[in-house]
Structures are given as structure tokens and as C-alpha cells.
Amino acid sequence: MLTSLRRSIRPEQIRELILVLLIVALVLFFGTQIEGYYSSRTFIRISTSIAILAVVAVGETLVFLTRNYDISVGSIVGLTAFFVGTQLNHYQGIPPIAALLMAVGLGAIMGAFNGVLVAYGRVPAIIVTLGTMAMYRAMLVEYPGIKIVQMHLLPGWAQEFSRVNIIQVGDFELRLIVGIALAVVIIFQLVLTYLPYGRRLYAIGSNPEAARIAGFPYQRIVFIAFVLSGTLAGLAGFMFMGRFGNLTVGAALGMEMQAIAAVVVGGTSTMGGVGSAFGTFLGAALIGLLDQSLLRWPIISEFWRDAILGLLILLAVASDRAIVDRLRTLWARSELQLRPSMATVRQEESVHGS
Amino acid sequence: MVHSTTSLPQRFLGWLKSWEGLLLGLLIVILIINSALVPAYLTISNQVNLFILFIEKSIVALMIAFIIINGEIDLSMASLMGLSAGTMARLFELGVPSGLAVLAALCVGLICGAFNGFWVAVVGLPSLVVTLAGLIAYRGLVWVLVEDRSISVLPAWLNDLGQKPLIGPFPFALILFFTFAIIGYIILQYSGFGRLVYVIGINRDVARYSGVNVRRVKMILFTASGFVASIAGLLYAARLGAMRSSTAEGFELDIITMVLLGGVSIFGGSGTLRGVFLSILIILNVRNGMGLAYMSANLQAGVIGLLLILSVLVPNLVSGLRARMARRYGMVRPLEVAESR
Amino acid sequence: MPTPVLELRHVSKRFDMTQALDDVSLTLYPGEIHALVGENGAGKSTLIKVATGVYQPDHGEIWVNGRRVHIRNSQEAQALGIAAIYQEPMVFPDLSVAENIFISHRDRGPFVNWRKMYEDAEAILAKLGVNLDVRLPARGLSLAAQQTVEIAKAISLNVCTLIMDEPTSSLSAHEVTQLFRLVSTLRDQGVAILFIGHRLEEVLSIADRVSVLRDGKLISSRPRGEVTIEQVIRDMVGRRIEDFFAKSAVQRGELLLSVRGLSKENVFSDISFDVYRGEVLGFAGLVGSRRTDVGLALFGVEPADAGQIIFEGKEIRIRSPQQALQMGIAYITEDRLRYGLSMPLSIAANITLPTLANYLGALGLIRSAAEYADAEEFRQRLSIRAPSVQVEVAKLSGGNQQKVVLSKWLNTKPKLLILDEPTRGIDVRTKAEVHHMISELAAQGLGIILISSDLPEIMAMSDRILVMREGRQMGLFTREEATQEKVMAAAMGQEYKVPETQLC
């Protein structure tokens, strides 16, 4: 029975289970600490902030799977949010779909730029996205027009965007933003599980050499991963604009670090080949939950947020299987040094006449 | 590193065509443009003032050059700069004597550097992952220490050190930079340790099979990196006269660009401090030029980001082009070159 | 006769110094297991690479199913139904077994049907008579299981020609039996199999036809019924006409190194031998014999788990290359490019690398004059052909590069010198120089372990020969006792019986 259990449960699923338990534990804990925690209001606040992070993090997961990194997503989110917001400030007549397409399209272009440089220019992803992080932020700042997006100048639907519900049962409200995020998670979980493209992402990250020999269109696959990452960041930008309304040039600053934290905590390996959209969602949920709850908890100052983020990342990376393996070999090797050779043991035996 | 057997004028011409020659040309062009915009641009006092604006980044860049040549990377140094400044400032605020506070800050740098080094050198994790985590974690610690305030009461002697000239018109930081630059250059080009740094970066296995203690070298480099970052952080805070949680945030962009633009290959094993020095001057003057043109800080960062990408992209494209030409037109076989004597 | 699945007609391939394949014609028929044997360097791997499109032949033709083809890359080979499985299988550790099998398929539809994939995978494995859990990630699989996955992958792509390169060298006896059953099943299904191996009894037990390669030439190709082991060995080894520099007999000095029961789990076991000053101990063996691993253990790169090492009378544990160097042990690697030389560096810099500490002056700066002088000395002594010692090593020919490697290690003033394939890929003139040098070094009192796959070289240069096979010690011959056939037989696990008719 145990073997069949072992067969059907993968280590990644154990990790996901732990995350769910952690989240539940945290919710219960904060419920005792913070007044009015179990209210509809709190749920809405937390879930909407998780939603935006989750969308970005899913895109980041795709990149991570191929053993690359994308730290420009924060800037992409900011730029798309700001761009679309500014357009809407000027031309209130733009229909929502067009605005959405603008955001997503812009994100895709920025992702494509990253992708070309990494996949075809053979520039390491960290360098490319370190550069584009700054470049995209610069474009945001220099975008001609007013330097802020103002809520009250947005068209009605945009102002109401963050308040639209898809489910309303009594006091419980599920915002559209959250619904979009859930849809993204589900879609990409399906992509990663059921589409050959998704499986090739895992293959490339798992063994790039073998992937090349097997004849995969390596460059195209990586390029598309970056395009998707940018596209999702664009979508998140749209949601960001809807949620906050008033935007400055500092929009979404630092979001890439949160996204990476969500990805890593959610079980995606930093060496590629392992990860899932669902796991990332749990990671985003955990981080978003911690973040928003700490804000409301007077005992620990909110400034611990980044330190805790860092700590979570360290813990998550340290529990990465590849790393545990390496530590284990190291430990074994140091243990070996303590073992006497068989010859000397025999000698000792003969001396002491055992 | 590798001395050719050609004559001196030939070597100079060869050098001109190299990456460093390109940098020198670029620098001259930028200086010309800038001095056209501002009449007193090329005076010593002006140049010194401009240099000082980026001196801390430049000091760290010298150290990071070592690390990248060695085939690793360190993304956490900007956060360490903030952390050491924060440690010093907070302790001093709490009444700890300034000397001890500074010492503590330096120790923090050493310890964090060694911590990075442990995971990279001993456990064998990729330095990118370790220092990326460090970037986030150390910055987080700064927020814990300093929260959202600004600490503007720093030891007077430290402020003086950071702000006032020490010898002639040159403040301490500038002197330190040139000292580091010269010592660093000598170490890299002429010392045993420097050669090991290169060899490991060229091919880690060859180094190991040749009896080189790779672990020790990497450990030393990362510990030193932490230490240098902490010094730079203290100097930066001293120069500003204050520090906050976001101190030195985002510095890694300029620092890594300074190193990569200087001809140090991101893949390890090549590059010199000469090139890094030239690229520091370029970035300095480019940033100044942009400032003169009233470009915002964000826009300037964007330009630097573009420079960063180009400094890796261009060599890649060129070598790719060269390979394609070689395949098409046939290569000169190395055998014939050597056997001709 | 059915149409041959794969035919190589008069194929030749040359690399710089070596004629890797010389007018080789080989025919593979469907439903036939064709074994290819030969020493290391005989040309087997080159042949495989030509068949799989990695190399293009200089001369000759390739015919597939009765049509002439040009195979330009591995995808084209795959399209022609040619697949190869190597000693080190290339699996995706994080993907499941089933996925590994089907990962290169393009025609399984727009969506991944997991249930069907698991079923199909299980079906293929069942066809092969193998029992593996297709859901588990490939990461935990043993080497044998990974190879099975590779074979399953090949079958799933409807392979017509399956090339297996030394697939059994890391397998246990039981796993080998399973593998052979698999291979037989494939053969019965009409696949043509080119099987490269060196365990003669195994090879003969499964092959329908046996071909022997030697020095790039096809020496013989006989159906199983007409083959005996002795014949094969003789074909592999041949009679050399070249005059090899024979090591001059030197008075054997004191005991330098004594190894007893040296073992490393899953690599080699129970290796025992002595090395005396002034003597050359040759290590003979075929691919997978793990001689290099013994060398690496003695040099501290991959230390042994158990066993005793007594060096100059003191028992020691060698844990790192630095330690080995300090004690006077030097190891010259077989793979110059990857482990031996720092290519962008100058000759002088390479020579002084292991002993850099000796060239440092005050403040840790390198004393270039001393470095230059020592490097010059070696340039003269070993006749390294280069304009100066400041030249980049990358610009030298293979032979001269090897001389730089030698200089580098001689500079450490070793007492024990371990040479791993020192003359591989080198021109004849330099080879002779290297042999001369080895003889001289022995005369100067060094103990030398010579690992080589070149039988005549070992025969000429060694005072004694230790034969290894798959991590085990098969025999220790003195110079007088050894003949090429005996050594080769031991390397293959046979005892060589001199045919009665042979009188010379």
C-alpha cells in the first residue's frame, strides 16, 4: 500500500501540501492576533494583492523552469500599468478590451526583447534583465505626459474595476481580479501539464545538453518563455492599474523580488526542471498573506517584511532537492574521512588479538 | 597576461584595436561632447568632484572585477553596502562609540561575505543564486534596522572623512580608490594569487587538477567582497551625511556595468583592471553628461542598462561573426603557426 | 540476402595526425546483431559518429535501405531510423520515465495524454520484457535502467539501426543478461543492431556477425559460427612492424609506492601493486577498466574509500591534489583540453602553475625571470617547438601541448609520475621523444605508472604490466612473461591459450 502511495505522490506535492498547511496555520494564527481578521474586507484586500503577484509569478515560473531568471518583471508591470493608465486618463473612451490588449501587447513586446537577447544573443538572462529592468523603468519615467496617473480621471469602468465581483454570497465577495488570477493559474497549470511546449520547458531546464541533442528548438522555446513572462506581467500591470488607480513612477518597484520569492517558495527549483503554476500560486498566497497580515499586526513592525522575504527565499532554496543532495554528499565525504582503512583495522585486531 | 613577441609600436597598435582601445576612444568622444556642453569640464577640481559622485561604486567595481574574472558573480554587494552603513548608523544612534560601530559594520561585511563564500566555495552552489538571495535578505535586514527613517546623525570624524578633502583636493575615498586600483592591478597582473584567479575562471577543472586550492581562492574573494562592500557603504553614508533603508539600492546595475563594459567577460577568465578603470571613467562621464542634459536618474539608469546589455551582446555577436567567417573561408591551422620556425 | 539497412562503403576519415577510418566497408542487415570489436583508438567511436551524422566522411558513401544518403546531423540520422545509445545515457532527470521515452516525438497530438503515454510506455517496456515504473522520475534510476529507457526511446522512434556503444561496461552480470534479452528481442523484430563491446564472451554469445577494427581498418568480418576468441584477439592486436623505442633496462631501486586493497565503491575494488624507483609499471586495459580512476585516487582528485597506500615507507591518505603534489606524486591527465592546460595562458604560466608558490617573491609577486628561465629550460630539454615560452598554449600542436603538460609536472620534481595516455593523438616523432623521456626519467630514479591503451607502447615501455578490467585487477605480468595476446586476453577476462599450431 505504501508503495502505491509513494507512486502517486511526488515530492513536489508534499511541498505543496506543506504550503497549504502553513497558509492555514498562518490564517488561524493571525485570526487570534488581529481583530476583525476573519472579515470580508480583509479577505478582499489580501486576495486582491495576492492575485496580482500570482499572475507575475506564474510568468516568472516559466522562465525559471528553463534555468533562466527575469528580474525585469517589476518594471514591465509598472510600465504597462502606467502606460495604459495614462492613455485612459487622456482618452476615457477606450473600451476595456482595448486597454487590456494594450497592456498585454506591450508586455509581450518587452518580454520578446528580453527573449531575443537571451535566446539568440546568448547574453546571460541575469544580465539582460538587469539591464532591461532599468531600461523599462526609464521608459516609464520618460513617457511623455503627466507624471502620475490619476484615479478620478480614469473611465468609470476602470475606477470600478477593482470592485467588480464575480461571486457574491452574502458577505463573501470574490473580486474579478482574483478570478483573473485564478484563471491564469489554472490555464498555465494546464499548459505546463498537458501541452508539449510546457513539457519541453521542463526538459530544457532538466538537462540542457540532452535537450539540444534531442533536437529541440531550444532558442525558440526559451524565447517564448520570456514572451509569456512579459505578457503575464502586462496583464498584471493592467490589474495593478485597476486596483490602485493612482500611480506614480514608482509603481510596482521591487515586485520582481516578491515574484521570485513566490516562485522559489512555491517549489520551483533555481536550477530549472522542477516547478508548477499551482505551487507558485501557493507561494504567492503565502507571501501575500504574510505581507498583508504583518501590516495589520502591531507586534512585528512591517519593516520585517523584506527580511522575512529574504529568509523565506533562503529557506526555500536551501530545501531545494539538488542542494540537499549536495550537502548530503559533502556530509558523507567528511564522514568518510573518519573511517579507518580496513587494513589498519585488521592490524589493530591482530594486535589486540580479537 | 600573455606577452606577444612583436615590437612595441606594433603592440600599441594592436592594443588600440582591442576592446580597451575602443573604450579609450569612447571616453575621448564623451569627454569632448561633455566639455562642449560645459566650459570648465576638464579642470581637475571638476573632474575630482565628478569622480567622487561615484567613488563608492567604483571601489566595489574593482572588487567585483576579481569575482567575475574568477567565473562567479556577486549581486549582494549593494545590499551589503546598505547593511554595513545601517549597522554603523544604528549602533552609533544607540550610543555605541563610533570606533566600535564602524568596526562592527566592517565585521558585518566580513561575515556576510564569508557566508556567501561558504555556500559558493564549500557547498558548491551557483554564486548567482546565493548572492541573489543575499541581495534580498541583506536588504531586508537593513529595513529591520533602520525602518523607514533616515538616520542623519553620524560620527563627525566619519562625515569629515567622507566629505572633506584629505590630501590636496582629494578626499579619502578617492585616495582609497586609487590605492585599491593600483594594488588590485598589481595583484591581478603580477601576483600568484592573481594568476590563480584567472586560471580558475578560465577552467575550474584544470585549476583543480593542477593542484590549485580552488575553494580557498573563492572563499577569500567572497569574504573580501563583503569587506570592500562594507567599507564602500560606510564611505557612502559618510559622504551623504545620512543613511536610510534604501541606501545604495540598485547600485549593482552600475557596478556590474562598470565591470562588464571594461572588457571583463561574464563567462570568466579574461579582463583587466585597466579596462575596468576606463569603463568607470566612461560611465562617470556618461552619467555626468546625462545629468548636464537634465536627464532624470531613472532615464540615466536606463542608459546604463542598455550599456550593460551591449557590453555582452556586442562581443557575442562579433565572435559569432568571426566563427561564421572562419567556417566559410577556412581557418588558419594553429599547427602551421607554431611549426613554421 | 535482404537489403542492408545501413551500409558504409569505403569510408575514410582523417583528423590532423590520425587516420581514424581507413577504407572501411561495413554492412548491417535487418534482424542481425553485428558486433564490432577493437582496441581503444581503433576507430569505433569515429565510425559511430559517421553513422549518426556527427562527422562527415572524407571519402566513401553511406547507403540506407538501398539508397545513397548524406547524413549531415543527428536529426537526419534519426529520420533515417538510425539511433545510438552510449555508455552515458542522456536522460532528463526531472521527467518521468514515460516522458523521457516520448519526449522527442512530434506527432502525439496537441495535448499530452498522460494515461495513454503511461500505457504506451508500459507497452514498449513490456515488449522489451522490462519492468520499470514509468511514473517515477528518471533521476533515481540506475545506469542500467537509464539505458533501458534510452533503448525504449529508440524503439518508440521506430529505429531500423540501433548502435550500442559499450553499453555493458557499467552493468552487473544480471543487468547484462537482461540487456541482452532486450537486444535479442529487438533483433527478432527486425532491427539491425551494431553492438560495440569488449567483453568477448558476451559479444560472442549474442552476435550474429563479428567484425574487428584495428588502426582504422576493418581487419575481419566473420559470421559467429566461424569465429573463435583467439582469432578475434589476434585480429585486434596484430603484429606491429613499427620499431618502438624500448625502455632500457634499469637497475630497480627501492620500493616507492605500495598499494593494497585499494577500493572505491562502484568504481574499482581490491587493487594491489608495488612501484619501485626506476621502473615503469604499465596499466593495461580496455574502455571501462577504470585505470584512470585509480590514477585519480592516487592523485587525490577522487580519493578512494578503502585500502592502504604506503608511499616511501609511510602510510598515507591522499585527500586532495595539493596533498599529492606535496608528497611528490604527479598525475598527467589523458584529456589535455579539459584538464591539462589553461589554453589562453602562456607556456611558461602553464608550466609553473602547480608549483606557483615557488616562484613568488616578496609580497606574493611572481618572479618572471625565474619563471621564464625554468620554462626555457624545459623548452630546450623537451624540444618544445614554439617561438618562445611566452606563446599561448592554444597555438601549439597537440604534440607540443603534451610536452608542456609533461614539463608542468616534471617541474614539480615528482617521485611518482602517473601518466595517463601520454601519447594519444600525437605525431610519431613526438611520441618517440616522449618515450625517450620516460625512459630517462626512470633512469633518474622516478617511479612511473604508465596508463595506456596502446598495447605496443605498454609492451615496449613497461618493466611490469598490470591488467585491469572493469575495476578489477586481472593480472600482473613481467616484461618477459607478457605477450600482446596474453595482455589483451587478460584485459578481456580471458586466459589466453597459445594455439598449438603456432610455432613462432
Q: Give me the amino acid identity at C474.
A: M
Q: Which ipTM did the prediction report?
A: 0.86
Residue A253: inside a domain, yes or no? yes
Orientation of helix B273-292 relative to helix B172-190, angle to 10°: 150
Beta carbons of A274 and C108 less than 8 Å apart: no
Q: Are C288 and C294 in contact (CB under 8 A)?
A: no
Beta carbons of C365 and B337 less than 8 Å apart: no
Q: Calculate the dihedral angle through the C-alpha atoms of A56, A62, A65, A70, rounding to the nearest 10 degrees.
A: -50
- Residues on C contacting A at a C-beta cutoff of 8 Å: 74-75, 78, 90-95, 99, 103-104, 108, 110-112, 114, 133, 135-137, 260-261, 305-308, 315, 317, 319
Is A205 in the C-facing interface, judged by CB distances under 8 Å? yes
Mutate to test the interface with B, among A120, A127, A264, A326 (most CBs of B within 10 A): A127
Instruction: Check residue C331 and give its pLDDT.
Output: 93
More confident residue, B169 or B27: B27
% pLDDT > 90, chain B: 52
Q: Are B247 and B82 in contact (CB under 8 A)?
A: yes
Q: How confident is the model at residue B311 (pLDDT cuts 50, 70, 90)?
A: very high
Dist. CA B262–CA B19, nearest whole Å: 8
Dist. CA C94–CA C91, nearest whole Å: 9
Dist. CA B338–CA C403, nearest whole Å: 14
Q: Which three cell numbers stand for residue B271?
A: 579582463
Phi, psi of A300 (to 5 degrees): -100, 125
Residue B1: inside a domain, yes or no? no
Residue B3: inside a domain, yes or no? no
DSSP C339: I
Mutate to test the interface with A, among C101, C103, C134, C308 (most CBs of A within 10 A): C103
Query: Structural domain of residue A259, as residue ranges?
Result: 40-309
Q: What is the 3-state secondary structure (H, E, C) of chain A?
A: CHHHHHHHCCHHHHHHHHHHHHHHHHHHHHHHHCCCCCCHHHHHHHHHHHHHHHHHHHHHHHHHHCCCCCCCHHHHHHHHHHHHHHHHHHCCCCCHHHHHHHHHHHHHHHHHHHHHHHHHCCCCHHHHHHHHHHHHHHHHHHCCCCCCECHHHCCHHHHHHHHCEEEEECCEEEEHHHHHHHHHHHHHHHHHHHCHHHHHHHHHHHCHHHHHHCCCCHHHHHHHHHHHHHHHHHHHHHHHHHHHCCECCCCCCCHHHHHHHHHHHCCCCCCCCCCCHHHHHHHHHHHHHHHHHHHHCCCCCCCHHHHHHHHHHHHHHHCCHHHHHHHHHHHHHHHHCCCCCHHHHHHHHHHHCC
Residue B2: inside a domain, yes or no? no
CATH of the domain at B235: 1.10.3470
**What is the pTM (predicted TM-score) of this model?**
0.85
Query: Structural domain of residue B167, as residue ranges?
Result: 8-338
Q: For residue A343, is pLDDT > 50?
A: no
Chain A residue with the nearest C-alpha to that of C265: A336
A207-226 average pLDDT score: 88
Instruction: Check residue C414 and give its pLDDT.
Output: 93
Instruction: Kindly report, residue by residue over A10-60, the tens digit of the pLDDT.
Output: 667 778 888 899 899 988 888 887 777 777 788 888 888 899 999 999 999
Residue A81: inside a domain, yes or no? yes
Residue A103: inside a domain, yes or no? yes
Q: Are B138 and B80 in contact (CB under 8 A)?
A: yes
CATH of the domain at A247: 1.10.3470
Q: For residue B200, is pLDDT > 50?
A: yes
Q: What is the 3-state secondary structure (H, E, C) of B193-229?
A: HHHHHHHHHHCHHHHHHCCCCHHHHHHHHHHHHHHHH
- Cβ-based neighbours of C126, under 8 Å, separated by 6 or more: none
- Residues on B contacting C at a C-beta cutoff of 8 Å: 1-5, 186-187, 190-193, 195-196, 198-199, 202-203, 205-213, 269-270, 334-335, 337-339, 341
| Torsional sign, CA B156, B158, B163, B169 | positive
User: Which residue ranges in chain C fall short of pLDDT 50?
Assistant: 241, 499-504
Residue B24: inside a domain, yes or no? yes
Q: Which three cell numbers stand for residue A22?
A: 502553513
Domain count, chain B: 1
Closest CA to C453 of C470, C435, C467: C467
Q: Are B130 and B120 in contact (CB under 8 A)?
A: yes
Residue A9: inside a domain, yes or no? no
Tell me the average pLDDT of chain A. 82
CB atoms within 10 A of CB C126: 10
Q: Which three cell numbers stand for residue B283?
A: 560611465
Residue B271: inside a domain, yes or no? yes
Please state which of the ranges A161-170, B139-148, B251-260, C398-407 shows the lowest mean pLDDT. A161-170
Beta carbons of A193 and C112 less than 8 Å apart: yes
Instruction: Kindly report, residue by residue over A121-168, the tens digit of the pLDDT.
Output: 999 999 999 999 999 998 888 776 667 777 777 777 777 777 777 777
Q: How confident is the model at residue A341 (pLDDT cuts 50, 70, 90)?
A: very low
Instruction: Check residue B5 and give its pLDDT.
Output: 45
Residue A321: inside a domain, yes or no? no
Residue A146: inside a domain, yes or no? yes
| Torsional sign, CA C210, C215, C218, C219 | negative
Instruction: Check residue A11 and give its pLDDT.
Output: 66
Residue A326: inside a domain, yes or no? no
